[in-house]
Chains A and B, each alone.
Chain A
């Protein structure tokens, strides 16, 4: 039985990867980049052993991807799992190249059918779901899941490697963010229907009245910086699963909706009655968000 590897770049929230690795069977090895605390956390997550590349120092984690890929390749895994996060994908790609593996993103489900690993994934931005049978070594990128439960620690082997010539020379961390998008039960998301930065207050007021969090479509966080980049929902951003997702001034392009479809109830507010989002909502209001959002805030106060 060949081994399955999980590759981790910094963030130990890999509960789904561990569960998935366990269903495939065989030895489950985690390769960890990042601080010792990450390696220790992953070691307690239910893997058989951990290979840790040591404290990164001033090198970004990406500088270790090549060395990490060599170590994974030496283990000759058939399946390698990585979380769908920026640094983890860099690592996943390096491993795929080094091992000559296929690489699949958007993976939703992994199972073994008659001894063959099959994968269900979103293709073409989520408009089709395909089922694939793996035919050789493959790197799978999927949602990392939550922080795994803490169990008995597996052994951690430290391997010293030389990173590529890249150094972080300046660091400008973000100001403290708002409430966590993933734990929010109610999310108020706004898109390009919102005209000015100051108008974000209208969405925030409603989020407060709902005891929820604000989020946005991608153009609101890139291009214009009405929101920080970690607050947009969609295929390249966050996938959220609140009880209520209220989208105002968002047209409902597939790349956005993929991140919102896990919501229990979707409300759409849009001036355009033909906006695609009205085909995917529980309640739709054809109207101006500048009128409807304040009216909702007020109605909730009553």
Chain B
């Protein structure tokens, strides 16, 4: 049996510079395994160890996804091997295209009965890739998953959060699970993990046919932020600062 973990190689937009014309400069933003995806990898590792499954990492994107640094960063987190599709054509690919390419690779890997994803990617964060991927595979998707076990009959027992509560579900067949950001605490790769990562197998696959007609960009801009007063209230006397703030809020009519 094989468990696939889909992870994204991406930079945090918090570190990007956006020009007034909407041009995004990512030169100061370093890419990495997308913030929450290590949680999915760790969840997969534990389940694979408990069930004797193989754990395959899968990532698609621009050429950066295939660099040695990117491969090692992913493999050092506990994956057995990788499949990457690193192609210019997928640089900045949108959700539907990304998911179609991921689905084709999951089918290609074969013998897969579980795909794990992170909660949301650090750059797009639309929580859509797992949904479209599950749609292509024809498998159910459960999101906000906090725990997963293999049941004696081969099915899955999945715990997820719903609003502020939780649910336990039984899943018969193959499934896609989007793992909650805090499901487990992922390991911090050590020197040994990073060295070992260089020896693990990596398969490079090609994009293949994608039939999605993605929209055309007709304009971009930096969103106009509301004009804020930006007034700093200073002073060593906290009570006086508090009184000044309350007076200002009263004057603004928000109290």
Contact bitstring B63-101, A, C-beta under 8 A = 1, else 0 = 000000000000000000000000000000011110110
- The bracket for how many chain B residues form the interface is 35 or more
Known contacts: A104-B95, A255-B14. The answer to whether A283 contacts B22 by CB under 8 A is no
Q: Check: B16 CB closer than 8 A to any chain A CB.
A: yes
- Residue contact A93 to B170, C-beta cutoff 8 Å: no
| Closest B residue, CB atoms, query A120 | B219
Report the Cα distance A167→B161, complex, angstroms: 15
> Do residues A172 and B165 form an inter-chain contact, with CB atoms below 8 A?
yes
Q: Across the interface, do B225 and A63 meet the contact criterion of CB distance under 8 Å? A: no
Is B132 located at the chain interface by the 8 A CB criterion?
Answer: yes
Taken together as a complex, chains A and B put the C-alpha atoms of A95 and B223 apart, in Å, by: 30
What CA separation (Å) do A102 and B98 show in the bound complex? 10
Contact B214 A102, beta carbon cutoff 8 Å: yes
The answer to whether A93 and B213 have CB atoms under 8 Å apart is no
- CB of A93 within 8 A of CB of B141, answer yes
Flag if A135 contacts B13 (CB, 8 Å): no
B27: interface (CB < 8 Å): no
Interface centre among B131, B218, B238 (most CB of A within 10 A): B131
Q: Contacts A105-B124, A124-B124, A229-B163 known; A166 to B169 CB distance under 8 Å?
A: yes
Residues of chain B with a CB closer than 8 A to A287's CB = 238, 241
Q: How far is the CA of A217 from the CA of B226 in the complex (A)?
A: 21
Asked if A295 and B228 sit within 8 Å, CB to CB, the answer is no
Quick check: A96 and B132 within 8 Å, CB to CB?
yes
Chain B 131-164 against A: per-residue CB contact (8 Å), 1 yes, 0 no?
1111110111111100000000000000001111
Q: Which of A89, A133, A266, A295 lies in contact with B218, CB distance below 8 A?
A: A133
Residues of A near B246 (CB, < 8 A) are 296, 299-300
User: Which of B42-50, B108-116, B197-205, B229-237 interfaces with chain A?
Assistant: B229-237
Shortest distance in angstroms between B248's beta carbon and chain A's nearest beta carbon? 6
Find out whether the CB atom of A167 lies under 8 angstroms from the CB atom of B163. Answer: no
Q: Are A102 and B123 in contact (CB under 8 A)?
A: no
Choice from A86, A139, A168, A283 contacting B231 with Cβ under 8 Å: A283
Q: Does A94 contact B (CB under 8 A)?
A: yes
A291 touches B135 (CB 8 A): no
B165 near A281 with CB under 8 A, answer no
**Interface of chain A, helix or strand or loop or mixed?**
mixed
Instruction: Check if A127 sits within 8 Å of B16, measured CB to CB.
Output: yes
Q: Does A45 contact B (CB under 8 A)?
A: no
In the complex, chain A residues whose CB is within 8 Å of the CB of B16: 124, 127
B126: interface (CB < 8 Å): yes
- CB nearest neighbor in A for B138: A66
Report whether B173 and A165 are in contact in the complex, using a CB–CB cutoff of 8 Å: yes
What residues of B have a CB within 8 angstroms of the CB of A185 in the complex? 254
Chain B residues near A98 (CB, 8 Å)? 135
Q: Are A100 and B254 in contact (CB under 8 A)?
A: no
With a 10 A CB-CB cut-off, give which of B136, B140, B214 has the most chain A CB atoms.
B140
Q: Tell me, in angstroms, the Cα distance from A98 to B238 when the chains sit together.
A: 59
Cβ-neighbour of A136 out of B172, B213, B221, B253 (below 8 A): B213
CB neighbours of B128 from chain A (8 A): 89, 92-93, 96, 103, 105, 141
| Interface residues as binary, A260-302 with B (CB distance below 8 Å gives 1, 0 otherwise) | 0100111100000000001111111111000110011011101
Which chain A residue shows the least CB distance to B185?
Answer: A223
Knowing A125-B123, A138-B215, the reply to whether A97 touches B136 (Cβ < 8 A) is yes
Q: Which chain A positions have C-beta within 8 A of B22? A: 128-130
State the CA gap A214–B24 with chains docked (Å).
34
Q: Which of B131, B167, B231, B232 contacts A60 (CB 8 A)?
A: B167
Chain B nearest CB, measured from A63 CB (Å)? 6
Question: Across chains A and B, which 5 residue pairs bring their CB atoms closest together, nearest first?
Answer: A93-B131, A97-B135, A105-B126, A136-B213, A165-B172
Query: Contacts A97-B96, A138-B215 given; 19 further ones with Cβ under 8 A?
Result: A60-B169, A66-B138, A86-B162, A94-B135, A97-B136, A98-B135, A105-B124, A123-B220, A124-B123, A125-B124, A126-B223, A127-B13, A132-B216, A174-B165, A218-B181, A261-B226, A280-B228, A283-B233, A285-B245
Q: Which residues of B contact A (CB under 8 A)?
A: 13-14, 16, 18, 22, 24, 94-97, 99-100, 103, 119-120, 122-128, 130-136, 138-144, 161-173, 175, 180-182, 211-223, 225-226, 228-234, 238-239, 241-243, 245-246, 248-249, 252-255
- 23 example contacts (A-B, Cβ-Cβ < 8 A) are as follows A66-B140, A89-B131, A97-B99, A98-B135, A103-B99, A118-B218, A128-B220, A129-B222, A132-B218, A133-B218, A135-B213, A165-B172, A168-B167, A168-B169, A170-B168, A186-B254, A222-B180, A244-B255, A280-B228, A284-B233, A285-B233, A287-B241, A295-B238
